[in-house]
Amino acid sequence: MSEAVEVIDLTRRFGDFTAVDHVTLKVGYGEIFGFLGANGAGKTTAIRMLCGLLLPSEGGGAVNGYDIATEPEMIKRSKGYMSQKFSLYPDLTPRENLEFYGTVYGLAGGELRRRMSDLAGALGLEVFMDRLTGSLPVGWRQRVALAAAILHRPKIVFLDEPTAGVDPVFRRRFWDVLYDLAEGGTTLFVTTHYMDEAEFCGRISIMHAGRIIEEGPPADLVRRYDRASLEDTFIHLISGAGAGA
């Protein structure tokens, strides 16, 4: 398995609406890949297919070496996923939340405790471990969610708008954590509406109306379209594609 993600002509239809339309993608291990697009472009539907949560109508491929159509259970177990909506129990503490996720992934005993304590240290969560998750500020809850997503040491983590609504200080720190993960060989597949975060990515793709309309290193795209910034490039590409959503 040479690539973390390799899909060809990935397509998903809902009735007569095509949410994802022949998407072809390759992402290598250790890459930080930015999966960009307008609201409603089909990003979340594509990610759900890549995570083994939704079957494609057409096309297919592999994530972490597992076929998304025939081995979705293996993908579910071997990937990490952190969504824009919190998947944590607000009335449990971070410790209890992580214990719960550890159990889901078949971790227990000393091994689970060791990993939880390592992650709490790496993410600066120690002092929050026994407070109620729902009482934590968004930035810290996001870190707990990240810890839950990587507790089982997945080789690929899908992050769907992990920093929506988070202030610049927290966003910078969160990305330092992501960089460390990527340096350790973890593949990060990230959606974001912050263009400075897109510039953190080695490569990005831009999705519009279910299709990937551009792909490449962020700086290359800015040069290719002769724009002042990635934001200008993004807006140019999306509005040029006849959007307006």
Residues that bind other proteins (CB under 8 A): 37-41, 84, 121-122, 124, 127-128, 135-140, 161, 164-170, 172-173, 175-176, 179-180, 183, 193-196, 199-200, 218-219, 230-231, 234-235, 238-239, 243-245
Nearer of residues 65 and 217 to other proteins, judged by Cβ: 217
- The distance of closest approach from Cβ of residue 51 to other proteins in the complex, given in angstroms and rounded to an integer, is 20
Nearer of residues 63 and 159 to other proteins, judged by Cβ: 159
Does residue 223 sit in helix, strand or coil? Answer: helix
Nearer of residues 131 and 153 to other proteins, judged by Cβ: 131
Q: Are 127 and 158 in contact (CB under 8 A)?
A: no
Of 176, 168, 170, 173, give the one whose Cα is nearest residue 195: 168
- The distance of closest approach from Cβ of residue 183 to other proteins in the complex, given in angstroms and rounded to an integer, is 6
Q: Are 230 and 205 in contact (CB under 8 A)?
A: no
- The distance of closest approach from Cβ of residue 121 to other proteins in the complex, given in angstroms and rounded to an integer, is 7
CA atoms within 13 A on the CB side of 89: 11
What region does 201 belong to: left with phi over 0, alpha with psi -120 to 50, or beta?
A: beta
- The distance of closest approach from Cβ of residue 202 to other proteins in the complex, given in angstroms and rounded to an integer, is 9
Give per-residue burial for 193-202: e unless 16+ CB within 10 Å, then b: ebbebbbbbe
Nearer of residues 4 and 204 to other proteins, judged by Cβ: 204
Sign of the CA dihedral 150, 155, 161, 166?
A: positive
Nearer of residues 41 and 98 to other proteins, judged by Cβ: 41
Nearer of residues 96 and 231 to other proteins, judged by Cβ: 231
Bridge partners of 63, per DSSP, are 5, 66
- The distance of closest approach from Cβ of residue 149 to other proteins in the complex, given in angstroms and rounded to an integer, is 19
- The distance of closest approach from Cβ of residue 143 to other proteins in the complex, given in angstroms and rounded to an integer, is 10
